[in-house]
Structure 1
Amino acid sequence: MGFTAFQVRALLLRRDEVVIADVREEAAYAQGHPLWAANFPLSLLELDAWRRIPRRDTPVVVYGDADAPAHRAIDVLRRLGYTQARPLLDGLGGWIAAGGELFQDVNVPSKAFGELVESVSRTPSLTAQQVGALIDAGTPPVIVDARRFDEFHTMSIPTATSVPGAELVLRIRELAPDPATPVVVNCAGRTRSIIGAQSLINAGLPNPVAALRNGTIGWTLAGQRLDHGATGTAPATVAEPHHALARSGAHAVARRAGVRFIRTSDLPGLYEPDRTTYVFDVRSATEFAAGHLDGSFPAPGGQLVQETDHYAPVRGARIVLIDDDGVRAAMTGSWLAQMGWETWAISPAGPGDLVRRGTEPHPVPDPPQVGTVDAATLRTWLAAGPAVIDQLGSGPAATVVIDVGPSRDYTAGHVPGAWHAARARLPAALGTIGPATRHAATRYVVTSQTGRLARFAAADLSRLTSAPVFSLDGGTAAWRTAGPLESDQTRYAVAPADRYRRPYEGTDNSRAAMEAYLEWEFGLVEQLERDGTHHFRVIR
């Protein structure tokens, strides 16, 4: 028995816990899904589920497509212990027939919320032409880029400094100590610009603050030059008077939004058997590795607000945030509370609480028992005969290597001769590889970046072929230590669909794609109204 669209909607409206799991590849997911659907590609389900859905009796509503059928995903989830995993009856067609909205793109709840914030708060903004004129006149504002540093490094506004979103309120006074200095916040598109600018305003920064209208997309469409390879970051140390002002402003806005503050010793009381509780450390990855609370997970730099559907796919769950400065968790919490989450903050935690070092291991099931081969042996096998025969060749293929890792990792470098195929699409991949090699493989070797995913995929593949199947021990990373990778030739057994190319990332986006993306964002507030399940409440 499955969930009807009306039952799912009722769960959302009551704020009961529910996961809507779209098990298609990301590119298909981005073409249209319910507002609160989270992407759980079938190819990665065993690696994602326990970390992202901590409670095994959470209702999980599943839908997919022909490449990733819901029933296969439900079988996996039930083997993992999820007792309430059931299909969305009639899939997306049933959702649409019941009057449900479909939202395009990824991280849609956060992007739609950002548009609502601008609509309600009237967040000030400046056009690319206005900001460019200030720079050219020799009176530039302080421009802060609220994205991750790697995005900023790829392309940025001239004179900008990287200050990821959660850091803005904490560090802005080090960059703009004079309250008369204008501050402009940018991202690639709109969401992080709006949320960043409004964070500074809500926290009481006296400076004139504005978002760069449409971010680097708007800058590019205006014909302005972008910088590449910029490295400017905010000072690591915050002066105590500035810190005190930031802490006071952050706590005030968090309380207005409904965030509740606790001590670390209070945290065990929030763990209840019938509630999901996420605990996120919102400091930088470096700070997290240097010392964090046992059981917490990193969500640095404001990405939790930008990618809430990824970090916390259980809608209706409880979220606890941690920092050591009294600012970052409070500000992040102020936004999550406005997005309808029950939000708590340990802001700040004491030094004695943050003692666990390194990274937190993600809970994953033991991989299947499959045959393995080390990199040296694989090298010998490949030397004994061609890994693949191209479209013009002929003869047997002694060893066929299939890389099931992310397509962009494969493109960057793979075992020479390897094919690429998403794990869930192995049946279709064999239909391509067989005719291309002109002969059945003597053996298959499956690899991924670390080899963990490859072991799951090798077990799948062994059920599809009579040829011996092996997993590369240590994955492509192990091969890299034994020999060079190949990047100049790519062999996609099926067209890659594991990654949706965002219209605002990279440096080679078409003008039409960027303009279409902005038009889509402008329409999100109206779509939220039609959907009606969001529970967003923007404070004034």
Structure 2
Amino acid sequence: MSTVTTRRYRDIRRALLAREELALIDVREEDPFAQGHPLFAANIPLSKLELEVLARVPRAATPITVYDNGEGLATVAARRLFALGYSDVAVLDGGLAGWRAAGGELFRDVNVPSKAFGELVESVRHTPSLAAEQVQALLDEKADVIVLDARRFDEYQTMSIPGGISVPGAELVLRVAELAPDPNTQVVVNCAGRTRSIIGTQSLVNAGIPNPVAALRNGTIGWTLAGQRLAHGQQRRFTEVGAGTRANAGRQARQVADRAGVLRLDRAGLAQWQTEAGRTTYLFDVRTPEEYSAGHLPGSRSVPGGQLVQETDHVASVRGARIVLVDDDGVRANMSASWLAQMGWQVAVLDGLSPADFDNAGEWQPPLPELPAANEISVEQLSTWLKQDGTVLLDFTTSANYVKRHIPGAHWAIRAQLAEALERLPQASRYVLTCGSSLLARFAAQDLQALTRTPVYLLEGGTAQWIAAGLPLETGESQLAVRRTDRYRRPYEGTDNPREAMQGYLDWEFGLIAQLERDGTHGFKVL
């Protein structure tokens, strides 16, 4: 195994400014990551490293720097990356504290590059917006107004503006002409906070649609802070568009992409990029997940365009890499690419495709390493063992899934914190591990067996198999072996957040432009 070396802040900063490829990976859980990290750090927790890194950092020779905040995770992560075949792996000198001590800026929250970029767009372009009270007045007056929600459909269903329609961001330019055919109709674009409202609104402005357009200022947070009622469980969605609408939107989107410097590739050009060993090329299909599942280009990954722009770091975790976008209409890929180009990515749209090119059906499957062996047991065996003393069941699903439902008696744990969890668990004559599918639990079983002489077993098919068998379930935080740090609670999600947290989040967003200036590595250029 290769020797684990260190890499300094100044080396990473130099590479960022030179637009060289690099992956700066924070291997802590999401909550501590969200409390402070470098601008272009990608969060791939040590707990899930093997399940995520091959897709997010697909080229084995990519310069990778891992770090933690003194927890001892980074060195373990580096060794695992070497074992997975990565050849250029280093630990950040001094970890997060070293980054700060060397003068590096630290950013809070998640998907910060996209959110900071959104603030910059509004500042430069003066993106039009309306306050929550103004939009409410228009709705009360039954004015000629339409509210389009630019988030994912599941987020829209959780909470939305009454009467709003779900149109995820990349769909806006394609769908708006048929949703608001009268050019006098006021179009209002909203999200939960600010970023997708701003980007969605500016997309329509950039494309030159004739309607007056405005972002709902501060999204559903602003709506809530204004004391106005949100709707829950709404089902309004966009519908299909005609050929003429599609063609016109395609022309509009292509003009925007050309202005942004988006490159063009055909299948041969894509193949050439993909054979270049010294560069990373991501291939993303930016249509809806349903369209992707019905048929897609081989080798592409489903990443709906609005979410790609919102959380680029979560899928394209190599800064300086190349991104190729695919659709079947010339609208969603071009609009999404126009934003990525402004965010400093080298991005191309794949042209010249025919329906025959979308010949792979089914869901995207992430690349995985060889799976470790495990002693598997059936749900029937587990059911019998749980009636006896000495069986300790560990669940490695997300804490949110665990709280929603889990096998009775299961203790929730984080894989990277197994040693800590063991100190809090009852005496065991055997351990049984599960998660949703038992995929993550399979890796955890190997780790746990290295820490104990007690036999370790894996539930075949995971908790999903238990549920399929119709066996009983529990809910709630009944037995947490470690703290719930696997997910950062976003101030803009749900409706039960304190008003202070919502206002604090808005204040933080307003301060991002100043942080970008202090950091100086972003490379953003707004049209």
Tell me, yes or no, whether TM beats 0.5: yes
CA 1:359–1:183 in 2, change beyond 3 Å: closer, same or farther? Answer: same
The answer as to whether partners of 1:174 and 1:234 remain within 8 angstroms in 2 is: no
Q: Distance in 1 between matches of 2:353 and 2:111?
A: 29
Gaps of at least 5 residues in structure 2 are: none
Alignment of 1:141-540 (within 5 A): 141-236=145-240, 238-271=241-274, 272-347=276-351, 349-385=353-389, 398-433=390-425, 437=426, 440-482=427-469, 483-488=471-476, 490-539=478-527
Q: Distance in 2 between matches of 1:263 and 1:159?
A: 41
Aligned to 2:115: 111
The answer as to whether partners of 1:416 and 1:486 remain within 8 angstroms in 2 is: yes
Match of 2:486, SS state, is coil
1:168 Cα offset (Å):
0.2
Match of 1:2, SS state, is strand
The answer as to whether partners of 1:462 and 1:469 remain within 8 angstroms in 2 is: yes
The answer as to whether partners of 1:264 and 1:353 remain within 8 angstroms in 2 is: no
More displaced stretch, 457-466 vs 312-321:
457-466
Q: Distance in 2 between matches of 1:359 and 1:309?
A: 21
Q: Distance in 2 between matches of 1:510 and 1:69?
A: 33
Q: Distance in 1 between matches of 2:414 and 2:179?
A: 45
- Offset from partner CA, 1:247-296 (integer Å, 9 cap, x none): 11100010000101222343101121100000000000010011100000
Match of 2:491, SS state, is coil
1:138 Cα offset (Å):
1.3
CA 1:488–1:36 in 2, change beyond 3 Å: closer, same or farther? Answer: closer
Pick one of 96, 120, 123 that aligns with 2:124: 120
Alignment of 1:25-174 (within 5 A): 25-67=29-71, 69-174=73-178
Q: Distance in 2 between matches of 1:140 and 1:21?
A: 48
Match of 2:90, SS state, is strand
1:65 Cα offset (Å):
3.6
The answer as to whether partners of 2:70 and 2:95 remain within 8 angstroms in 1 is: no
Match of 2:387, SS state, is helix
Q: Distance in 1 between matches of 2:65 and 2:477?
A: 40
Q: Distance in 2 between matches of 1:427 and 1:38?
A: 25
The answer as to whether partners of 2:27 and 2:45 remain within 8 angstroms in 1 is: yes
CA 1:56–1:529 in 2, change beyond 3 Å: closer, same or farther? Answer: same
More displaced stretch, 211-220 vs 57-66:
57-66
Q: Distance in 1 between matches of 2:223 and 2:48?
A: 36
CA 1:67–1:428 in 2, change beyond 3 Å: closer, same or farther? Answer: farther
Q: Distance in 1 between matches of 2:462 and 2:403?
A: 15
More displaced stretch, 338-347 vs 59-68:
59-68
Q: Name the amino acid aligned to 1:500.
A: Y
1:67 Cα offset (Å):
4.4
The answer as to whether partners of 2:144 and 2:185 remain within 8 angstroms in 1 is: no
Q: Distance in 2 between matches of 1:204 and 1:515?
A: 33
Match of 1:344, SS state, is strand
Percent of residue pairs bearing the same amino acid type? 57
Match of 2:6, SS state, is coil
The two structures have a TM-score, normalised by structure 2, of: 0.97
Q: Distance in 1 between matches of 2:315 and 2:354?
A: 25
Q: Distance in 1 between matches of 2:22 and 2:136?
A: 46
Q: Distance in 1 between matches of 2:34 and 2:173?
A: 32
The two structures have a TM-score, normalised by structure 1, of: 0.95
The answer as to whether partners of 1:254 and 1:334 remain within 8 angstroms in 2 is: yes
- Number of equivalences: 521
CA 1:301–1:228 in 2, change beyond 3 Å: closer, same or farther? Answer: farther
1:490 Cα offset (Å):
1.7
1:348 Cα offset (Å):
6.3
More displaced stretch, 458-467 vs 222-231:
458-467
Q: Distance in 1 between matches of 2:254 and 2:352?
A: 11
Q: Distance in 2 between matches of 1:99 and 1:301?
A: 34
1:239 Cα offset (Å):
2.3
1:374 Cα offset (Å):
1.3
Q: Distance in 2 between matches of 1:348 and 1:300?
A: 20
- Offset from partner CA, 1:223-260 (integer Å, 9 cap, x none): 01100010101112x12332222111100010000101
More displaced stretch, 265-274 vs 504-513:
265-274
The answer as to whether partners of 2:305 and 2:333 remain within 8 angstroms in 1 is: no
- Offset from partner CA, 1:128-166 (integer Å, 9 cap, x none): 000000111111511100000000011100111000000
Q: Distance in 2 between matches of 1:192 and 1:515?
A: 18
- Offset from partner CA, 1:356-387 (integer Å, 9 cap, x none): 010232111122112221111011111123xx
Match of 2:234, SS state, is coil
Match of 1:51, SS state, is helix
The answer as to whether partners of 2:26 and 2:67 remain within 8 angstroms in 1 is: yes
Q: Distance in 2 between matches of 1:533 and 1:411?
A: 40
Q: Distance in 1 between matches of 2:72 and 2:44?
A: 10
Q: Name the amino acid aligned to 1:366.
A: E
Q: Distance in 2 between matches of 1:379 and 1:489?
A: 21
Q: Distance in 2 between matches of 1:242 and 1:361?
A: 33
The answer as to whether partners of 1:447 and 1:454 remain within 8 angstroms in 2 is: yes
Q: Distance in 2 between matches of 1:370 and 1:71?
A: 25
Match of 1:194, SS state, is helix
Q: Distance in 2 between matches of 1:197 and 1:20?
A: 31
Match of 2:35, SS state, is coil
Match of 1:99, SS state, is coil
Q: Distance in 1 between matches of 2:106 and 2:441?
A: 33
Aligned to 1:391: none
